[in-house]
Amino acid sequence: CSLNRLTITSLWGIAQPPNCTERHHGAVHGLFEIIQQYYVMKFAFEEINKNPTLLPNLTLGCQVYDSCVGLQQELDGTLKLLTGQKQGVPNYVCNRTPPVTSVIGHSASTFSILNAQVHFSTSSVLSDKTQFPSFFRTVPSDAFQSKGLAQLVLHFGWTWVGLVAVGDDYGHQGIQVIKQEILRGGACVAFTEYIMSNRLERIPHVIKSIKESTAKAVICFTKGIDMIYLLDEMLEQDVSGKLLVAGEAWSISKLLTVAKYSSLLSGSVGFSFHSTTITGFGEFLVNIHPFGTKRDPWTKIFWEKAYGCKFLDGTDPNNSCLRSTFNLYMAIHMVAKALHDMWTCQEHNGPFTNGSCADIEDFKPWQLSYYLRHARLDLSNGRELFFDVNGDPPAVYDIVNWQVNADGTMRHVKVGSYDTRRTDLNTFHIDPRAVRWASERGQVPVSVCTQSCVAGFRKVLRKDKPVCCFQCVPCGVGDISNETDSLDCTKCSWDMWPNAQKDKCLPKNREFLSFEEPLGAALSAISVFSSLLPVSITGLFTCYKNTPIVRANNFSLSCLLLISMSLCFLCSLAFIGYPQPEKCLLRQVTFGTVFTLCASCILAKTFMVVVAFMATKPGSSLKSWASPRVSYMIVVLSSFLQLVLCISWISLAPPFPEDNIQTKPGIIIVECNEGSPTAFWCMLGYLGLLATISFIVAFLARRLPNSFNEAKFITFSMLAFLSVWVSYIPASLSSTGKYTVAMEVFAILSSSWALVICMLYDGGLPGSSTASDYGQPRETTVRHRRSLD
C-alpha cells in the first residue's frame, strides 16, 4: 500500500515511530494522511489478532520505517528489516525470530521497483512476473487506470487531448498506455509533456504548451505536489478555458481545494481509488487518547486533525478519507489470509509434494507467494479481493468531479465508477446529471481539433496532420451522409435524390408535360380552341355547298383539308399528359398521318390548279389530269406511303415510355422513347418532302391570273410550314424534358395555324375575292371555277 512518506513493513515485532516525517512534509494534511494510515495498520493488526478463526494462537505484528521520500532511505529501511539491526547490511540476515512474512512498500512505483514486494505501487511494470515474481498489490495497476482515463475522455467526445505526466516510472508507463488507448479509440494527442519535481524550470514551458494548444482537455498524470507548481504557473500565465483530467494521484488531493485554484479546477474530472468504510475503525479512532502513550508521538496531532478530514462533500471521514488507507487495510488482511491458508495447509495440490505442508515458523518466500496468489478475501462492502496471474487485483475506481463550494473552495463529488470486474458493457458508468461543468450553460466542454462534420458532409484528412484534424467536404451530386463524421458518402438509388441537407434520400420528382401545370393547360386550351375554327369553316362550307364559288373549290377536297387541319390541332393533345404506353405508341404516328393527310390535300389542290390552267391551252394533253379523281388519288397515295412507314415503325421498333435520369440530375423525366430515331426522322422528312413539293408547285404557279391566285397563298403556307419545322429541329435538340415535348406541340400548333391562315385567306374559299375585284365579268369567273370543278 502507498503511504506517501512512510514505508510500512509487516513483520513479527513492534511498531517504531518515524524520525523524519515532519521534517520532510510541511503540509499538515499530508502528515494527517500518513498518521491515519498508521492507525489503520494498528487497527488491522488488532482485528486480526483478536479473530479466533484467523491465525489462532499466532500474533501478527509490524515494524514501521520512514523512507523520508528517498530511495536510499527506502533501501536502508528494507535492509534494517532483514538484518534486525540498526544498520542495514546487504545479503545479511540475523533476525530469525520472529520471521519476516512480507513487506508493504512505498506508494511511489520507482521505490517499489527497488523493493518489489507486496505494496501499493501502481506502475504496470510491476506486473511483469519475470522481473518481480513476488510482487503483489492491493491497488489496481496503472494500466487499468490509464485505459479508464482514455475511455473517460472518449466518453465525453474529447478527441483532441493534451498529456502531461511526471517524468518517472509512474508517469512514463501510465501516459504511454493512455496514448495508445486514445489513438485506438480514434482520438488524437495534441502534445505530450513531462515534468520533474526537481526541475521546476520546465514548468513554464509545459504551461506554454498547454496555453498555445487548441486542445481543451488535458490529462495530468502527475502527483499532488506537482499539480501545485502547474496550477501556480497557469495562474501566472493567465491560462483559462482548459479542463484538467486527474489521475488517482491528485484526483482527491486536499492540497488543491483552496479557492485560488477554483477557476482552473472547477469542472475537472478524474479517477480515484474506490472508497468504502472499514467496519469498526471509527470506534477505534474515538478510543485513541491524545496522551495515552509516550510511544505514539503522532496521537496528539491526529486527535487535533482527525475530525477536520472532509474530502468528499462534507461526508464522514471514516468513509471518504479511506481511499488509500483501505488498500493498506486490505494488504494486511491478504497477508494474514495467505498465512492462515499456508498454516492450515490449504490447497493440498499446491507447490508441495507428498501432501506435505509449509512450516509457519520456517517457510520459504515462494511458499507464501503461492498462497498469496491463490488467496481470496471477502470484504465488508461485498467485494472479493484476489490477485490475477500478474499479481493485480480487480480494478475499481470512482470517477470524481471537482465542484465549487459557496466559499470558493473545492469539493470532490463521486459521479460514476469504472469497474473492470463487470463482464458486460457497463464497465464504465457515469451519471451526467451529477457532473457540473465550468463551461457556459453547464454543457460538456468541447475539445476537438476540428468540429465534427455534420450529416451531408464527409471527412477529408489534411496532409501532414493527425486524423483528428480534417476538413468537412460536402457530399457529391447524388450522394448523402446521414451520420456525423462520415468518412464516405452513400449514393442514392437511381429513383432517389438527396434533400437540400444531403442527409437523406427522397423520391425524385417525375417531370412530364402535364395538363394541370400552366404550360400544359395553356397549350391544351389553344389546341382545342384552334381545332374549332376549321370545324366552323367546314360547317359554313356545308351550308353554302351549292353556291358556285364552293362548287368551284372542290367541296370534298376542301372539307377533307379542313377536317385534317382540325385533327392537326387536336393531335397535339396526345403529347400532353403522363406518357402512357398507348400514348407513346400512337402519338407520333397520329401526328405524322394527320399532317400527311393535310399536306396531301394541299399538294392535290395545288396540282389541280396548275393542271387546270395548263389544260385550257389549245392542244394540251393534260385535260385527262384535270379530273377530281386525280386529286383523290394524290391524297390516297401520299397518305398511304406515310401510313406504311408508320406501321413499319411501330411494328419493328415501337415507341415506349421510359424514365430518363441522365438529362436532369435529381429529376426523372418521364418521356417517350421513339424506339427508332431513324423512323421518326424519316416520318418527319417525308412530311417535309410533301410540303416542299407543294411549295415548289405553288411557286411555279405564282403567275396565274389574279382571280386564281390561290397558288400564292399555298406558297406562303408551305413556306411557313417548312420554316416552323426546320426551326423545330435545333430547338428540340437544345431543350430538355417536358420542354422538348412543349417545343413539338408548339411546332404543331404554329404550322397548323400557318396553314389555316394562309389557306383561308386565298381567293378560293367563301368570302374571298370575286370577279368584280379583278374587273372581270362574273359569268367568266364562274365558268372558270366550274372548269376547275
* In the predicted structure, residue 493 carries a pLDDT above the cut 50: yes
The span from the CA of 643 to the CA of 636, in Å, is: 10
Superfamily of domain 7-136+277-382: Response regulator (3.40.50.2300)
Per-residue pLDDT tens over the stretch 529-540: 999 988 888 888
- State which H helix or E strand residue 153 sits in: helix 142-155
* In the predicted structure, residue 196 carries a pLDDT above the cut 50: yes
CATH fold for the domain made of 518-788: Rhopdopsin 7-helix transmembrane proteins (1.20.1070)
pTM of the model: 0.58
Note the pLDDT of residue 465: 85
Q: How far is CA 177 from the centre of its chain?
A: 27
CATH fold for the domain made of 142-275+396-442: Rossmann fold (3.40.50)
State how beta strands 667-673 and 509-511 pair: parallel
Note the pLDDT of residue 529: 92
**Residues sharing a CB contact under 8 Å with residue 161, sequence separation 6 or more, in sequence order:** 153, 182, 187, 188, 189, 190, 215, 217, 218, 219, 447
The span from the CA of 249 to the CA of 4, in Å, is: 10
Please enumerate, as own/partner, the contacts of 779-785 that have beta carbons within 8 Å and a separation of 24 or more. 781/707, 782/548, 782/552, 784/552, 784/707, 784/708, 785/548, 785/549, 785/551, 785/552, 785/553
Mean pLDDT of 108-116: 49
What is the full DSSP assignment across 73-95? HHHHHHHHHHH-SSS--TT----
* In the predicted structure, residue 14 carries a pLDDT above the cut 60: no
- State which H helix or E strand residue 62 sits in: strand 62-65
| Cβ atoms within 10 Å, residue 640 | 12
Q: How far is CA 160 from the centre of its chain?
A: 17
The span from the CA of 4 to the CA of 33, in Å, is: 9
**By C-alpha distance, which of 257, 264, 250 is closest to 308?**
257
Q: Give the lowest-confidence range in 503-507, 747-751, 756-760.
A: 756-760
* In the predicted structure, residue 155 carries a pLDDT above the cut 60: yes
Note the pLDDT of residue 772: 31
The span from the CA of 70 to the CA of 663, in Å, is: 82
* In the predicted structure, residue 12 carries a pLDDT above the cut 70: no
Mean pLDDT of 235-244: 92
Count of residues for the chain? 789
DSSP state for residue 243 in the 8-state scheme: E
Q: Give the lowest-confidence range in 182-196, 379-393, 622-636, 717-731.
A: 379-393
Four-residue CA torsion sign, 130, 134, 140, 145: negative
* In the predicted structure, residue 69 carries a pLDDT above the cut 70: no
* In the predicted structure, residue 78 carries a pLDDT above the cut 80: no
Written as nine digits, the cell of 552 is 368551284
Note the pLDDT of residue 360: 75
The span from the CA of 671 to the CA of 584, in Å, is: 8
| Residue keyed to cell 503540509 | 27
The span from the CA of 444 to the CA of 435, in Å, is: 9
**Helix, strand, coil percentages for the chain (3-state, nearest 5):** 50, 15, 40
Domain map (residue ranges) of the chain: 7-136+277-382, 142-275+396-442, 457-507, 518-788
State how beta strands 410-419 and 479-480 pair: unpaired
Per-residue pLDDT tens over the stretch 667-721: 899 989 888 989 988 998 998 898 888 888 877 776 666 545 566 777 777 888 8
- The reply to whether 142-275+396-442 shares the fold of 7-136+277-382 is yes
Interior angle at CA 490, CA 488 and CA 495, nearest 5: 165
Confidence of residue 87 (pLDDT cuts 50, 70, 90): low
The span from the CA of 377 to the CA of 50, in Å, is: 18
**By C-alpha distance, which of 225, 98, 218 is closest to 168?**
225
Q: Give the lowest-confidence range in 293-302, 314-323, 381-390, 476-485.
A: 314-323
The span from the CA of 575 to the CA of 564, in Å, is: 18
* In the predicted structure, residue 324 carries a pLDDT above the cut 70: no
C-beta separation of 15 from 64 below 8 A: yes
C-beta separation of 267 from 238 below 8 A: no
Written as nine digits, the cell of 154 is 472518449
